[in-house]
């Protein structure tokens, strides 16, 4: 992290939050302490107290681990400019692997996740919650680069916020930063579930010279249009052992009224299958076909290839599961909204830096999730001591690392 300039960036960006000649625990040291804790699997601020028994952690903390009250107070020092700076740091480290290789096509997967809150927390409001109905929550939005599995955009939002037109200005800059990293000649494809089936979002992606690929909302007029597709218009792309069709695709002549009002042209692709995968609907009583529809502004690529390309968006779900289970992005450390936002971004920043470390030093572990990476590279037996007044760390062999 020192070699990557993380410590320097933390000092330059956040030292102003805690300035003065009598400061004992500088802000950058506190943030680095929380990142060290997150790297080895401690998702809560409260866990710092247990880590104070570890001599290496104490050494990295500067010789003395601060009290929990101090750490909580420092998280509450974050203001809006500091939140913006932290989110930009997350994106910067997430985009480094993107810059290392030029690609003709790169995918930006956007998704949201609900975090129920059991307590009185600022910004925790009732909203869309599939499990705890009516429970106050936060609603996080994340952007993942599928080719590198890194987070390139994130925001903590109140629980009563659902994805819609208001989020288009959020996603637009994420596309710009991904294009700046991937190169002007790289085509960006933004994939999102049916939440992205809103006109302003699609128009924003189109204005950014990118392609969107969205699973369409299950509205009655759309599925009526699918039912009216002539039998001969369905193209068979897969068959069973008896050469009977099991998967067919078709172009659907369908337009929502708001699309024309905003001057956008949307290509509607329908896929019907006898091998049910995911959430699909039955429309034909005489057959076992189920159907799903996709929206895109890509007018050139094959329809079936685009439909299969959407399946790659499923990779964002394991990433969110890893961020929740291994990184604790659902652990709420404070009643202050900005403090919780800062804690979320710190964990995402540590995740992206660990991804950089793995890709550079142990690329064969790139497909592993955080708990196994920690066991192989970080949480290993060791002895910490001093030799000639200099700290010395002896570790068990880590064969996965490149020498």
Residues 6+ apart with CB under 8 A from 67: none
Residue 326 domain-assigned (yes or no): no
Per-residue pLDDT of the chain (403 residues; tens, 9 = 90+): 989 999 999 999 999 999 888 898 999 999 999 999 999 999 899 999 999 999 999 999 988 999 999 999 999 999 999 999 999 999 999 999 999 888 999 999 999 998 888 888 998 888 877 777 888 999 999 999 999 999 999 999 998 887 877 788 899 999 999 999 999 999 999 999 988 899 999 999 999 999 999 999 988 899 889 888 888 899 999 998 888 888 999 999 999 988 988 889 999 999 988 876 555 566 655 567 888 899 999 999 999 999 999 999 989 999 999 999 999 998 888 999 999 999 999 999 999 999 999 999 999 999 999 999 999 999 999 999 888 888 999 999 999 988 6
45 and 189 share a domain?
A: no
Residue 201 domain-assigned (yes or no): yes
Residue 124 domain-assigned (yes or no): yes
pTM score: 0.92
Instruction: Please report the pLDDT score of residue 403 as a whole number.
Output: 65
Residue 59 domain-assigned (yes or no): yes
Instruction: Please report the pLDDT score of residue 283 as a whole number.
Output: 61
DSSP sequence for 62-105: TSSPPPHHHHHHHHTT--HHHHHHHHHHHHHHHHHHHHTS--SE
Q: Which of 276, 298, 321 is the last residue of a domain?
A: 321
35 and 178 share a domain?
A: no
47 and 173 share a domain?
A: no
307 and 370 share a domain?
A: no
86 and 47 share a domain?
A: no
Q: Which residues partner with 387 through β-bridges?
A: 390
Residues 6+ apart with CB under 8 A from 336: 75, 76, 122
115 and 248 share a domain?
A: yes
Instruction: Please report the pLDDT score of residue 326 as a whole number.
Output: 94
Contacts for 371-377 with beta carbons within 8 Å, 24 or more apart? 371/41, 371/325, 371/326, 374/39, 374/40, 374/41, 374/326, 376/400, 377/401
Domain hosting 30: range is 6-81+331-395
| Domain total in the chain | 2
305 and 346 share a domain?
A: no
Q: Are 112 and 163 in contact (CB under 8 A)?
A: yes
Parallel/antiparallel/unpaired status of strands 245-252 and 235-239: antiparallel
Q: Are 322 and 38 in contact (CB under 8 A)?
A: no
Q: Which of 301, 321, 341 is the last residue of a domain?
A: 321
305 and 285 share a domain?
A: yes
Token pair for residue 206?
Answer: 């189109």
65 and 153 share a domain?
A: no
Residue whose pair of structure tokens reads 């007018």 in the numeric block: 299
Residue 159 domain-assigned (yes or no): yes
Residue 402 domain-assigned (yes or no): no
Residue whose pair of structure tokens reads 């625990």 in the numeric block: 25
49 and 136 share a domain?
A: no
Residue whose pair of structure tokens reads 């910004």 in the numeric block: 123
Domain harbouring 153, CATH code: 3.90.350.10
375 and 263 share a domain?
A: no
Q: Which of 321, 353, 375 is the last residue of a domain?
A: 321
């Amino acid at each position: 992290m020192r070699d990557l300039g993380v410590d320097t960036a933390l000092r330059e960006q956040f030292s102003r939050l805690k300035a003065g000649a009598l400061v004992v625990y500088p802000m950058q040291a506190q943030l680095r302490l929380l990142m060290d804790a997150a790297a080895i699997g401690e998702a809560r601020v409260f866990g710092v107290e247990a880590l104070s028994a570890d001599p290496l952690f104490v050494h990295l903390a500067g010789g003395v681990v601060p009290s929990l009250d101090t750490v909580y107070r420092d998280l509450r020092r974050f203001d809006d400019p500091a939140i913006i700076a932290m989110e930009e740091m997350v994106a910067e480290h997430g985009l480094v692997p993107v810059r290392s290789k030029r690609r003709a096509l790169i995918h930006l997967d956007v998704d949201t996740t609900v975090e129920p809150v059991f307590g009185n927390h600022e910004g925790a409001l009732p909203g869309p919650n599939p499990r705890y109905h009516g429970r106050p929550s936060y609603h996080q939005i994340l952007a993942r680069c599928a080719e590198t599995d890194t987070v390139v955009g994130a925001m903590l939002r109140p629980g009563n916020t659902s994805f819609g037109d208001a989020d288009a200005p959020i996603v637009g800059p994420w596309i710009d930063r991904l294009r700046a990293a991937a190169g002007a000649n790289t085509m960006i494809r933004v994939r999102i579930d049916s939440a992205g089936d809103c006109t302003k979002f699609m128009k924003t992606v189109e204005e950014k010279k990118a392609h969107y690929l969205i699973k369409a909302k299950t509205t009655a007029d759309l599925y009526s249009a699918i039912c009216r597709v002539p039998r001969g218009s369905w193209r068979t792309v897969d068959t069973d052992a008896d050469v009977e069709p099991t998967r067919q695709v078709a172009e659907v002549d369908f337009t929502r009224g708001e699309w024309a009002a905003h001057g956008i042209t949307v290509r509607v692709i329908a896929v019907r299958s006898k091998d049910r995968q995911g959430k699909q609907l039955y429309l034909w009583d005489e057959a076992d076909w189920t159907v799903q529809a996709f929206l895109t502004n890509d007018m050139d690529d094959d329809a079936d290839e685009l439909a299969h390309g959407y399946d790659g968006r499923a990779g964002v779900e394991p990433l969110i599961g890893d961020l929740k289970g291994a990184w604790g992005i659902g652990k709420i450390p404070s009643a202050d909204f900005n403090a919780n936002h800062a804690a979320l971004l710190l964990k995402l920043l540590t995740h992206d830096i660990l991804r950089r470390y793995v890709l550079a030093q142990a690329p064969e572990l790139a497909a592993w999730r955080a708990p196994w990476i920690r066991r192989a590279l970080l949480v290993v037996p060791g002895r910490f001591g001093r030799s000639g007044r200099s700290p010395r760390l002896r570790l068990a062999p880590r064969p996965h690392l490149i020498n």
